[in-house]
Amino acid sequence: MKIIGKARMPSAGAIIVSNSFGMEMMAKLQQFFKRPLNFFISQQEKKQLPTSENVKVENLPDGLSDHVVQELVHKVLSGEGAWFLPKGHCASQPHLLALDERVVEIAKESGKSVVPVWVESPSAEIFNFTLEKTATWLNRRGGADDILALGDPIPPAELSLEKLRECLLDLGSEAFAAREDLQISLPAACVQGLKARGLSTVVTDAFLQNKSLNGFLLLGLALALSRRIGRTVSGPRIGIVLPPGIASITANLASLLCGKVPVNLNFTAGRKANEIAIRKSGLDTIITVPALQERFKDFPWTEKVLDIQEELKKLPKLKILLNALVGALLPTEFLASVYGFSKDGGDREAALLFSSGSTGEPKGIVLTHKNIVANVTQVRETLQFPTEQKLLGCLPTFHSFGFTVTVWYPLCGGPQVVTYSNPLETAKLAEIIHQHQIQLAVTTPTFLRGYLKKASREQLTSLWGIVTGAEKLPSELAEQFEEKFGVPIREGYGLTETTPVVSVNLKDPPGGSKLFPGQTLHKRGTVGRPIPGVAVSIRDPETGTPQPTNVTGMIWLKGANVFRGYLADAERSSEVLKDGWFRTGDLGRMDEDGFLVIEGRVSRFSKIGGEMVPHGTLEYALQRIFAQDKETPVFAVTGRSHPERGEELVVLTSIPLTNTAIGEALRKEGFPNLWIPKVVKIVEKIPILASGKLDLQEINNLATES
Q: Where does the pLDDT of residue 603 fall: very low under 50, low under 70, confident under 90, or very high at 90 and above?
A: low
Cα separation, 659 vs 652, whole angstroms: 11
User: Is residue 574 predicted with pLDDT exceeding 50?
Assistant: yes
Mean predicted confidence (pLDDT) in 292-313: 93
Mean predicted confidence (pLDDT) in 586-596: 89
User: Is residue 91 predicted with pLDDT exceeding 70?
Assistant: no
| Whether 634 and 698 share a structural domain | yes
User: Is residue 597 predicted with pLDDT exceeding 80?
Assistant: yes
Give the lowest-confidence range in 96-100, 435-439, 465-469.
96-100
> What pLDDT is stored for residue 370 in this prediction?
97
Mean predicted confidence (pLDDT) in 5-11: 80
Q: Where does the pLDDT of residue 600 fall: very low under 50, low under 70, confident under 90, or very high at 90 and above?
A: confident
CATH of the domain at 693: 3.30.300.30
| Whether 198 and 338 share a structural domain | yes
Give the lowest-confidence range in 13-17, 121-125, 252-256, 491-495.
121-125
| Whether 142 and 187 share a structural domain | no
> What pLDDT is stored for residue 359 in this prediction?
53
Residue 600 lies in a domain: no
Residue 291 lies in a domain: yes
Give the lowest-confidence range in 128-137, 290-299, 496-505, 667-676.
128-137
> What pLDDT is stored for residue 424 in this prediction?
85
Mean predicted confidence (pLDDT) in 451-462: 92
Identity of the highest mean pLDDT range in 48-62, 234-248, 261-275: 234-248
| Whether 190 and 124 share a structural domain | no
Cα separation, 307 vs 295, whole angstroms: 15
3-state SS record for 452-477:
HHHCCCHHHCCCCEEEECCCCCCHHH
What string of DSSP letters covers 69-138?
HHHHHHHHHTT-EEEEPPTT--TTSTT-----THHHHHHHHHT--EEEEEEE---SSGGG----STTGGG
Query: What percent of the chain shows pLDDT beyond 70?
Result: 87
| Whether 155 and 57 share a structural domain | yes
> What pLDDT is stored for residue 143 in this prediction?
47
> What pLDDT is stored for residue 577 in this prediction?
95
> What pLDDT is stored for residue 130 in this prediction?
32
Mean predicted confidence (pLDDT) in 60-71: 65
CATH of the domain at 203: 3.40.50.12780
User: What pTM was estimated for this model as a whole?
Assistant: 0.85
| Whether 246 and 173 share a structural domain | no
Strand blocks (E) in 548-656: 553-559, 577-578, 581-590, 596-601, 605-608, 611-614, 635-642, 646-653
Backbone angles phi, psi at 238, to 5 degrees: -135, 135
| Whether 120 and 215 share a structural domain | no
Residue 27 lies in a domain: yes
Which of 328, 347, 371 represents a domain boundary (last residue)? 371
Of 34, 32, 85, 79, the C-alpha closest to 58 is: 85
Residue 492 lies in a domain: no
Averaged confidence pLDDT in the chain: 85
Q: Is 154 helix (H, G, I), strand (E, B) or coil?
A: strand
Cα separation, 5 vs 570, whole angstroms: 31
| Whether 257 and 329 share a structural domain | yes
Q: Where does the pLDDT of residue 606 fall: very low under 50, low under 70, confident under 90, or very high at 90 and above?
A: confident
> What pLDDT is stored for residue 247 in this prediction?
96
| Whether 38 and 174 share a structural domain | yes
| Whether 278 and 354 share a structural domain | yes
> What pLDDT is stored for residue 476 in this prediction?
83
Cα separation, 235 vs 245, whole angstroms: 25
Q: Within a 10 A sphere around the Cβ of 609, how many other Cβ atoms?
A: 12
Which of 325, 353, 371 represents a domain boundary (last residue)? 371
Residue 569 lies in a domain: no
| Whether 187 and 281 share a structural domain | yes
> What pLDDT is stored for residue 32 in this prediction?
80
> What pLDDT is stored for residue 133 in this prediction?
31
For 440, the enclosing helix (H) or strand (E) is strand 440-443
Residue 454 lies in a domain: no
Residue 398 lies in a domain: no
> What pLDDT is stored for residue 527 in this prediction?
94
Q: Where does the pLDDT of residue 536 fall: very low under 50, low under 70, confident under 90, or very high at 90 and above?
A: very high
> What pLDDT is stored for residue 48 in this prediction?
58
Q: Within a 10 A sphere around the Cβ of 314, how many other Cβ atoms?
A: 12
Q: For the chain, what is the domain count?
A: 3
Whole domain around residue 660: which residue ranges? 609-704
User: Is residue 437 predicted with pLDDT exceeding 60?
Assistant: yes
User: Is residue 690 predicted with pLDDT exceeding 70?
Assistant: no
Strand blocks (E) in 136-185: 147-150
Which of 149, 178, 207 represents a domain boundary (last residue)? 178
**What CA–CA distances, in Å, run from 571 to 18, 355, 498, 544, 601?**
38, 17, 19, 19, 21
Higher pLDDT, 59 or 623: 623
> What pLDDT is stored for residue 652 in this prediction?
93
Cα separation, 561 vs 565, whole angstroms: 12
| Whether 127 and 201 share a structural domain | no
For 23, the enclosing helix (H) or strand (E) is helix 23-33
Give the lowest-confidence range in 63-72, 198-207, 677-686.
63-72
> What pLDDT is stored for residue 319 in this prediction?
93
The DSSP symbol for 268 reads T
Residue 496 lies in a domain: no
Per DSSP bridges, beta strands 285-288 and 237-240 are: parallel
End-to-end CA distance of the chain: 66
The amino acid occupying position 37 is L
